[in-house]
Structure 1
Amino acid sequence: MHDAIMAERLGLPAAGIMTTKFVSAAELMARVLGADGYPFVAVEHPISSAGSEDLAQRAQKAVAESVEILSGS
């Protein structure tokens, strides 16, 4: 979250991506950085034990959501 917000402040479009376990930490980081409500993608947790097919589906969903964030949709 920190990196995405800092990139945005430098004029670089960014989309933060976290797992669902860290949503509250991401929201807190956004508030601390003065970017309350900063949009980000939440991918189902855990990642490490997910199979290839499941990871591919999560990745496709994350890409689609990232595009929405980056395009302002």
Structure 2
Amino acid sequence: MAAREALLDPTGMDERSADGTLAPRPTSLRGLTVGLLDNTKVNATPLLRGIADDLVDRFGAGDTRLYTKDYFGTPVKDELLRQIAAECDVVVTAVGDCGSCSAATVADGILFERAGIPAVSICSDSFAMSGAAMAQVQGFPGFEFITVEHPVASLDEKEIRQRAATVLPDVVRILGVGA
């Protein structure tokens, strides 16, 4: 009988990847620090900044901090994940507007949830299936993420602001705070 080969999980996940529990939700954003994780895709920063401005102005968030990933197509690196988790109370990550970046954006949200930080992931609607597939692979098939109308990269400032305003109610709902 041939010896069994050890199989490696190509997703890089381990036994923790079966945890589908959301991080505890805040009752309010008042005074909280909101982390914004930009995945380097065009218009990710303006979209995140538009959402952040409204979270501060309308919901009393105390501070926002922008972080940028090294590469859009892979999940956030452990060092940056730990830094954001130590410095922020909630996280919004964006923007998945292609297959690999949508999957990575959803993976980022799941990683923050597992680190105890409530998170919202934003992808474009054309790549919702990619995001849902990543949630399944990560062992969190019920992970809810937000979709915005595709495309995102080619939008002007006014259009990006409109997209941010459109998703704001879902951002607030997923974070668990009232309007």
TM-score w.r.t. the length of structure 1 is 0.89
1:62 equivalent in alignment to 2:167: yes
Which structure has the greater CA radius of gyration? Answer: 2
Q: Residue type matched to 1:58 in 2?
A: R
Describe the SS at the equivalent of 1:12.
Answer: coil
The unaligned stretches of length 5 or more in structure 2 are 1-105
Structure with the larger strand share: 2
Question: How big is the shift at 1:17?
Answer: 0.5
Q: Which has the higher helix share?
A: 1
Task: Return closer, same or farther for 1:70/1:22 CA change in 2, 3 Å cut-off.
Answer: same
The number of residues matched between the two structures is 73
* Paired position in structure 2 for 1:45: 150
List structure 1 runs of 4+ shifted beyond 6 angstroms.
Answer: none
- Offset at residue 37 of structure 1 (A): 2.0
Once the two structures are superposed, the pairs formed by residues 1-73 of structure 1 within 5 Å of their partners are 1-71=106-176
Give percent identity, aligned residues only: 36
Task: Tell which has more relative contact order, 1 or 2 (C-alpha 8 A, sep 6+).
Answer: 1
Distance 1:72 1:35 in 2: 22
